[in-house]
A and B are shown apart, each in its own frame.
Chain A
Amino acid sequence: MRGKVRKLSPPSERQATGGRMQVPLRPEIDTGTGATSGERARAMIEIASVSKRFETSGRKSHLALSDINLTVNDGAFVSILGPSGCGKSTLLYIVGGFVAPSEGVARMKGAAITGPGPDRGPVFQEFALFPWKTVLGNVMYGLRQQGVKRTEAEAQSLRLIEMVGLKGFEHFYPKELSGGMKQRVAIARTLAYRPSVLLMDEPFGALDAHTRTRLQNDLLNIWERDRKTVLFVTHSVEEAVFLSDKVVVMTRAPGRIKQIVDIDLPRPRIRAELLLDSHYQKYVVDIERMIDDGRDDAEHS
């Protein structure tokens, strides 16, 4: 069966430095554990020299990702930000094991990723719920698959459904829910099987502005509880800055990392306060400028 991560001998020496140019820094605090081994232990995902080429019709090929190097530490909330077509989703799918890189390797806890697995839980823009299952059935699915007994799986799922604010909707079918509610179910369904990493592919992209804001807040609240590692793809600068510890800014055609920005804003973050915060505003403006520069580059070349 695919979906297992193959253990590899020690992670290669290649460090994730490509395209990195850190803007206002929060010093990389590495408490106690000391030196490089501690740094290693904290790395949850390593992406080393990953490129992805898609074969298109007419013997042409399209370079979607070019030489991506990125390390995501355990417990970090990292956003990948870029215009549509910059390959940011493809990068996420490579980490998910849904798409194989053409070159390079992605590792999860030091082991090369060869396929999907329950240690990496995806949440898609399209929700991708199982329409023949109720809300409860969807949330329970992963737990049952892992052999958790029905009563136990049910109890855990009910707690999660309550946590995402859908108490009372347990026996509804996805068809009967709004977009925001569907995405809440999808998040609960993925959280249920306790992946080490959440892979979120523009999860709020299909929602209206109001719903989007509410889900962002709720996601942060949920995240504050257990600080799971999150890789979050978005094209919204505000969303990326509001949620993340680190924003990876990408350029398009081919997709490269332009800059990695550390977001040094205190947590827990309260939206109403943050929107008035000059640091927050500066991050947003700076990153927007970065993306505009990228666009100019692309147009001139």
Chain B
Amino acid sequence: MTSARNIVSKLSPLLACLGLLALWQVAALWLDTESFPTAWHALQTVPQVLGDPEQLLNILDSIRRMVIGFSLAVLIAIPLGLAMGRSARVSAFFNPLLMMIYPVPKAALMPVIMLWLGVGDASKTLVIFLGVSLPVIYHSFQGAKAVEEKMLWSGAAMGLSGLQRMIRIVLPAALPEILTGCRTGLVLALITMVTSEMIARQSGAGNILFNAMDMAQYDTVFAMIIIIGALGIVLDAAFDKLRWRLVKWAEPHQEILLGAS
């Protein structure tokens, strides 16, 4: 019983994917326009795009920028968010600044950043960095703020210094919340990566997509959408697996038992 339900729940994302592709296929056949290739056609184009060394390098370039931007953001945003969550003074200093940046679409800053840093890696990485930072700061802040005072007192009584309490109590206690922020940040990294490459068209996955668009290579356009989408799904799933491993102590009871068995 449960195992059958398990199989269904494991397969459901795949089924959803296939359903979407089928819908696409039917719609494309029905509309029958040049700018809307069938799903089957687009899928066939994917190996072609990935098989082209130049295109592949472009895509890998994108991923490299994304990884660097994401990592830098996480490295800076987590300590900052935690410090803001535990210190009213730090929070009072950074809060107005972040409130101002928060609602601005980071891609909208791209022209200005390009003006300063050019159209190369630096600009694009910076935009990704900005996009990822804010949700990670916000969630780290919330997580740190919610840490029980008595837990910190218990640590202090054991002889942990202020910094040790921050690293060894606040950080792990806030980790579930921090990782929620990182997961949002990861999706935002992908989005800002593509957007930045649409604006500063020089290399990358976004560049391939829009070049193909300009040249009316609709197969390639849709193949790229599939590739970027798949990248997002794989990254998100991988991250969720990592998250689960790190914070299984915070998950509902039943899941822990399943994980242990």
Contacts and interface: CB of A to CB of B under 8 A. Distances in A.
B153 A131 contact: no
Interface in A94-150: 96-98, 115-118, 120-122, 124, 126, 128-133, 141-142, 145-146
A86 to B, nearest CB: 20
Interface in B155-173: 156-162, 169, 172-173
Interface residues of B, number: 21
Interface string B133-169: 0000000000000001011011011111110000001
Contact of A130 (B151, B153, B157, B159): B151
B151 A128 contact: yes
A162 interface: no
Interface string A22-61: 0000000000000000000000000000000000000000
A132 B148 CA distance: 14
A6 interface: no
Interface in A45-101: 96-98
Nearest to B252: A175
A95 B156 CA distance: 13
B94 interface: no
A204 interface: no
A1 interface: yes
A117 B247 CA distance: 30
Chain A contact residues: over half helix, strand or loop, or mixed? loop
Interface string B20-31: 000000000000
B159 A117 contact: yes
Nearest to A142: B158
Contacts of A176: 253, 256
A128 B256 contact: no
A230 B159 CA distance: 20
Interface string A282-298: 00000000000000000
B158 A126 contact: no
A173 interface: yes
B40 interface: no
B158 A130 contact: no
Contacts of B253: 175-176
A1 B148 contact: no
A116 B157 contact: yes
A141 B158 contact: yes
B250 interface: yes
A220 B100 CA distance: 58
Contact of A132 (B156, B160, B162, B172): B172
A242 interface: no
A98 B175 contact: no
A116 B153 contact: yes
Contact of B158 (A97, A129, A145): A145
Nearest to A119: B157
A126 B150 contact: yes
Nearest to A146: B159
A128 B173 CA distance: 11
B247 to A, nearest CB: 8
Contacts of A130: 151, 154, 169, 172-173
A115 B161 CA distance: 11
A132 B250 contact: yes
Given A131-B173, A132-B175, A173 B249 contact: yes
Interface string B169-191: 10011010000000000000000
Given A128-B150, A128-B153, A3 B159 contact: yes
Nearest to B154: A128
Interface string A243-285: 0000000000000000000000000000000000000000000
A130 B147 CA distance: 10
Contacts of A115: 156
Interface in B237-261: 247, 249-250, 253, 256
B175 A120 contact: no
A120 B157 contact: yes
**Most interface-central of B148, B173, B249, B253 (chain A CB within 10 A):** B249
Nearest to A122: B157
Nearest to B251: A175
A225 interface: no
A145 B160 contact: yes
Contacts of B175: 132
A107 to B, nearest CB: 17
A193 interface: yes
**Most interface-central of B157, B159, B253, B256 (chain A CB within 10 A):** B157
6 contacts: A98-B153, A120-B157, A122-B154, A128-B154, A173-B256, A174-B249
Interface of B: 148, 150-151, 153-154, 156-162, 169, 172-173, 175, 247, 249-250, 253, 256
Nearest 6 pairs of A and B residues by beta carbon? A128-B150, A116-B156, A142-B158, A1-B161, A124-B150, A132-B172
